[in-house]
Amino acid sequence: MRKHLLTAALGGVLSLIMGASGALADYTFTQQPNQLAIRLGALFPSTNTAQVFGGTTQFMGGLDYTLSATRGKSPSSTGLFFDYSSSSHNSGYLHSGGLGLQYSTLWPMFIGGGVGVYNTAVRTPSGERSGNTTGAGGKVFLGYDLGSRATVQLDYHIAPQTLGVNPNGLGLEFGFRL
């Protein structure tokens, strides 16, 4: 089921990107400095231990705040981000959140990445042990501007390991610029 969902999501993003090549000449620059965006979607953990603690599909959400945006031949933006993923499974839980700085290109199709400080909290399914770790983390992403302030984004998140549980995974999010 998970492989089918990931394949369908990736196929959808690639179809949007390929279908947009003719629209590139008509693209209008929509992202502005001091703009806030919200993202909601799902995270698919890449390790079995993360799936045992939090399930195969986890809630994923985030906020982006644009600090600066440039126009011209290579439009880009720099901003702050907050990412959060959460899920519980078998009476255990896995939460991960990060705050950092990101950079991305600005066209209908955009790519980028971010680095920051992340915290990962885990409770074992038996409830006997819990712990959290704070450390460096980050993400890389590929997305598409759907117009009308909406976006779709495929990303990979890297966060610190806690109690042997690695919360890294692939995310699919839909966003809206406020």
The string of pLDDT tens digits covering residues 96-155 is 999 999 999 988 899 999 999 999 999 988 778 999 999 999 999 999 999 888 999 999
What is residue 79's predicted lDDT score, i.e. its pLDDT? 97
What is residue 72's predicted lDDT score, i.e. its pLDDT? 82
Residue 42 has pLDDT above 50, yes or no: yes
Closest to 20 measured CA to CA, from 165, 144, 163, 166: 144
**pTM of the complete model:** 0.80
Instruction: Classify domain 2-18+38-177 at the CATH topology level.
Output: Porin (2.40.160)
Q: Please provide residue 17's backbone torsions phi and psi, each rounded to the nearest 5 degrees.
A: -65, -45
Residue 13 has pLDDT above 70, yes or no: no
Average pLDDT value over all residues in the chain: 85
Residue 62, strand partner residues: 39, 83
Residue 15 has pLDDT above 70, yes or no: no
Domain ranges of the chain: 2-18+38-177
CA–CA separation, 168 and 85 (whole Å): 10
